[in-house]
């Protein structure tokens, strides 16, 4: 039996990525990183800013996401997100731009705790990339 399952990443504009030979996906779930293997129990969770790692035979891929929802059911993993970038396509200047935005957001004083936490997370993740 193969140990592979299907992953689909969708953003509002289009279906971003479909792969059906994935062996493991690590998603930055809200309560900590979560690795998903084949035959995982059906789960719904949402994401915080971080890196999605997709491990497959054809090579590993890393994506940076800012938010989203994951749904896993019947060995189908769906990730809905509004902001996603492939790390391989992301150059330094893009990273800097995002980091600057995130820092500005994190330094705002009039936001609530949750947005503050998310903004801090963004800054942290982006800093580790550089």
Partner 1 sequence: MASLDDLKKRIASVKSTQKITKAMKMVAAAKLRRAQESAEKGRPYSEKMNNVILNLSNGISDKENAPKLLSGTGQEKTHLCVVMTSDRGLCGGFNSNIIKKAKSYFLKILDEGKELKIITVGSKGNDQLKRVYGDKIVENISFKESKNANYFDADKVGKMVIEKFEAGEFDVCTIFYNQFKNVITQIPQAQQIIPLNNEGEESSSEESYEFEPDEDEILSNLLPKNISTQIFKAMLENSASEQGSRMSAMDNATRNAGEMVDKLTIEYNRSRQAAITKELIEIISGAESL
In the complex, the residues that contact partner 1 under the rule CB under 8 A are: 10-15, 29-31, 34, 41-46, 67, 69, 71, 73, 78, 80, 82
- Tell me the closest approach of the beta carbon of residue 126 to partner 1, in angstroms: 19
Please say which residue, 34 or 129, places its beta carbon nearer to partner 1: 34
75: left (phi over 0), alpha (psi -120 to 50) or beta: left
Tokens 């997370």, residue? 121
Please say which residue, 112 or 130, places its beta carbon nearer to partner 1: 112
Chain center to CA of 28 = 6
Tokens coding 112? 């609530």
> Across-strand partners of 5?
22
Please say which residue, 37 or 44, places its beta carbon nearer to partner 1: 44
Helix (H) or strand (E) holding 100: helix 92-107
For the chain, the helix, strand and coil percentages under 3-state DSSP, each to the nearest 5: 30, 45, 30
Please say which residue, 11 or 95, places its beta carbon nearer to partner 1: 11
């Amino acid at each position: 039996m193969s140990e592979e399952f299907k992953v689909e990443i969708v953003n509002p504009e289009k279906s971003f990525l479909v792969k059906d030979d994935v062996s493991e996906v690590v998603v930055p779930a809200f309560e900590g990183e979560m690795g998903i293997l084949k035959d995982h129990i059906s789960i719904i969770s949402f994401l915080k800013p971080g890196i999605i790692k997709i491990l497959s035979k054809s090579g590993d891929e890393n994506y940076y996401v800012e938010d989203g929802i994951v749904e896993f059911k019947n060995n189908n993993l769906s990730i809905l997100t509004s902001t996603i970038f492939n790390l391989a396509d992301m150059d330094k200047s893009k990273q800097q731009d995002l980091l600057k935005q995130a820092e500005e957001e994190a330094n705002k004083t009039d936001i609530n705790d949750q947005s503050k936490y998310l903004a801090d997370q963004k800054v942290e993740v982006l800093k580790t990339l550089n």
